[in-house]
Amino acid sequence: MLESFRIILLIVLSCILWSCSSVDNKLVDSTLCDFNRYVSNNNYDSLSILNDSFNKNPELGLVILSKVKDSIPIAYEAALAVMVTPKNAAEIALSNILAMPEKDSNKAKMHINQIASWYSLIGKEKNITIFKETIDSCVKTYDISKQAKLYILSSSPKQLGNLLKQDSITKKALISEIKSIYNNNDLIEFNNALK
């Protein structure tokens, strides 16, 4: 499981590095300028057209995404929705969330919700389904500790306890891992919801 995650990460990084050398810098700069203007002016139709162009030139999207990553979060989340496929966006978003500390659950939830909301804003609602399905299928391939972290970051202790209580395929190892991560107050809330 961990090995497949590493392979995916290496592939994404390789694509970024490869695309940096094969994509025209002037095109990157002008597209990045257009993207920033469209986002700041809420020009969703132009962002939708830009999204269509990245389907024809995914390398350009990855290069621009790497340049936007350290900018303001909303631009990065818009870039994830516009610059790459929904599958790539899901894999990158999960990687971002796994890098967050457990206390950043609001930030993690907002990250996913903002990407999905950008799909709606640019008229690509069908991508929301692909994005969420990819997240679900990726999470199932992760080891228990990563699954637990993702569940903790995406749900309140009460929500997570209720979800796992209703799940007929609940894994005892997952519940044990979650309990080992929660602090006292969260653990009490989680245990109460599991009853």
> What average pLDDT does the segment 132-145 reach?
92
pLDDT of residue 64: 87
Buried b (16+ CB within 10 A) or exposed e, 79-110: bbbbbbbbbbbbbbbbebbeeeeeeebeebee
pLDDT reading at 156 higher than 90: no
pLDDT reading at 155 higher than 90: no
Q: Which residue has the tokens 């749900």?
A: 155
> What average pLDDT does the segment 53-81 reach?
84
Query: What six digits make up the tokens of 96?
Result: 């971002």
Residue 73: count of CB within 10 angstroms of its CB: 12
The secondary structure of residue 174, as a DSSP letter, is: H
Residue 9: count of CB within 10 angstroms of its CB: 13
Start-to-end CA distance of the chain, whole Å, equals: 31
- CB-based contact 22:14 (threshold 8 Å): no
Closest C-alpha among 74, 132, 99, 111 to residue 5: 99
pLDDT reading at 140 higher than 60: yes
1-40 pLDDT tens trace:
544 444 454 454 445 444 444 668 898 889 889 999 999 9
Q: Whole-model pTM?
A: 0.78
pLDDT of residue 168: 53
Helix axis angle for 105-121 and 44-56, nearest 10°, is 90
> What average pLDDT does the segment 103-131 reach?
92
Q: How far apart are CA 39 and CA 56, in angstroms?
A: 21
pLDDT reading at 55 higher than 80: no
The percent of residues above 70 in pLDDT, for the chain, comes to: 85
- 13: Cβ–Cβ under 8 A, 6 or more apart, which residues? none
- CB-based contact 63:32 (threshold 8 Å): no
pLDDT of residue 6: 47
